[in-house]
Amino acid sequence: MIRRRLIVHGQVQGVGYRYSCQLQAERLGVCGWAANRDDGTVEVVLEGEQGPVTEMMAWLGRGPRHADVTRVEVGEETPEGAVGFDTY
């Protein structure tokens, strides 16, 4: 199990990014959450097996059709046993 915290920059609010993120995470079996931040970015925490988390991170770099991701910051964290995927 691995856990990653990402900050996604670009046009990522108001384009269905968090909802699409949740659907993709559930499809891949990745747990965690996604939340809009006041600075216009989206913060995402991912937890799961390395393969699905890596695939999810690649998706976050593209996002849904109307998003325009310009940069993604990635940090490593200790897994906490997250269950499900939420949006805030």
The CATH number assigned to the domain holding 71 equals 3.30.70.100
**Does some domain include residue 57?**
yes
When pLDDT is averaged across residues 9-20 and rounded to a whole number, the result is: 96
Give the contacts of 39 (CB within 8 A, at least 6 positions apart): none
pTM of the model: 0.95
User: What range defines the domain where residue 13 resides?
Assistant: 2-80
Domain count, the chain: 1
**Does some domain include residue 59?**
yes
Identify the pLDDT of residue 74.
98
Q: What is the pLDDT of residues 27-76, one digit of tens each?
A: 999 999 999 999 999 999 999 999 999 999 999 999 999 999 999 999 99
Q: What is the pLDDT of residues 48-57, one digit of tens each?
A: 999 999 999 9
Q: What backbone phi and psi angles, to 5 degrees, belong to 25?
A: -60, -45
**Does some domain include residue 85?**
no
- CB-based contacts of 54-59 (< 8 A; 24+ apart in sequence): 55/28, 56/24, 56/25, 56/28, 56/30, 57/4, 57/6, 59/21, 59/24
What residue type is assigned to position 56 of the chain? M
**Does some domain include residue 28?**
yes
- Which residues are identified as catalytic? 18, 36
Q: 10 Å Cβ neighbour count for 82?
A: 17
